[in-house]
Amino acid sequence: MENRKMVKKGKFNFRLGLVLVLAALLGVMTAGCGAAAKNSAAQGMTEEAYDTSASYVSDDIYGTEAMPEAAAAAEEYVEEGGAGAAGVQVQDVQRKLIRDVNLEVETETFEELLSTVGEKTQSLGGYIEESYTYNGSNYYGKGTRNASLTIRIPAEKLDTFLSAVSEISNVISRNESVTDVTLQYVDMESHKKVLLTEQERLLELLEKAETIEDIISLESRLSEVRYQIESMEAQLRTMDNRVNYSTVYLYINEVAKLTPVKEQSVWEKISTGFANSLYNVGDGFVNFGIGFVISLPYLLVWAVIIAVFVLLLRLLIKHAKRKRQKRAAGNKKEEKQKAETEENK
């Protein structure tokens, strides 16, 4: 009987211990699952916050090591010639062309040309961005004048403006450059759309965030995204301005006679050269006369100095001559006395 009681007691203790062990294991598993679920949720929130920008690759935002798939997608975008992050095709948009023109002209009517250029610019809806004018004044009279203008003209009216300037002046040189920024523009717009999508997603996640760490992390990224959006919008506005308004760098020189721009015959070259020579000779005499009159005060001063110098030189010569004469007279007198003495002896 006692043995049976011992056996029953042993079985009871074994079952009790087994139940306690199973209960402890169940508690550990429950706690582990809860912690894992919490960590998974936090990690999911962070990953979800950046998931929308996975396809966005730009300078100093996502590198090729952190986002290899995004980098590969960007390379494929460039190779295909226009598939951006938002699926925009270059062929679907109007081409963005920046036109810059360097124009050098000469004129015999400087003020009239300058005034006409200003009026024509305003009538076409453009504006003068920068202006420099030299009036040619100097001590020897009024010389040739020149001006340097930076003019912004609506792109669709650029040819009209250039034709008008060519009609009222003599064009010496013209250099035009066209820069196609369509791909760059579309790429920036696509990146901007990705950033706007990321901004909306971050705002949604910020409303659902519960921990201080998540809020700080989301607000930090939101500030970066907003800064990048503002920077891209500023670059797009600048690009739009350069596309919509072409830039003309106009250099105006005042000349007495216009330079021939067409091929001349032999007789035309001879007659033109002879006329220019006569003009230069006449102009040289005029300039000499002007310079002579301007230099009269200096000439008078030098004339006085030279006159004083000549007067002093003449006085010195006369004084030296008198000394020589006195010496000669004295020598003659001594010789005469010597001769008389010898005769007396």
The domain limits of the chain are: 34-260
Per-residue pLDDT, 8: 44
Q: What is the 3-state secondary structure (H, E, C) of 267-295?
A: HHHHHHHHHHHHHHHHHHHHHHHHHHHHC
Q: What is the pTM of this model?
A: 0.54
Per-residue pLDDT, 258: 80
| Of residues 55, 44, 132, the one with CA closest to residue 88 | 55
Per-residue pLDDT, 191: 94
Q: Are 172 and 107 in contact (CB under 8 A)?
A: no
Q: How far is CA 231 from CA 184, 235, 237, 295, 322, in A?
A: 15, 6, 10, 63, 98
Pairing of strands 170-180, 245-254: unpaired
What rounded mean pLDDT belongs to the chain?
75
Per-residue pLDDT, 333: 76
pLDDT per residue as tens digits for the range 120-142: 999 999 999 999 998 876 655 56
Per-residue pLDDT, 94: 81
Per-residue pLDDT, 7: 41
For the chain, percent helix, then strand, then coil, each to nearest 5? 65, 15, 15
Provide block-wise average pLDDT over 10 residues at a time, the chain (345 residues): 44 50 51 43 41 38 36 42 45 81 94 94 95 77 83 96 93 93 94 94 91 92 94 94 96 85 64 67 71 81 91 88 82 76 72
Per-residue pLDDT, 192: 94
How many other β-carbons are positioned within 10 Å of the β-carbon of residue 244? Answer: 13
How many other β-carbons are positioned within 10 Å of the β-carbon of residue 150? Answer: 14
Strands (E), 194-283: 245-254
Per-residue pLDDT, 118: 94
DSSP annotation of 169: S
Per-residue pLDDT, 2: 43
Q: Are 249 and 101 in contact (CB under 8 A)?
A: yes
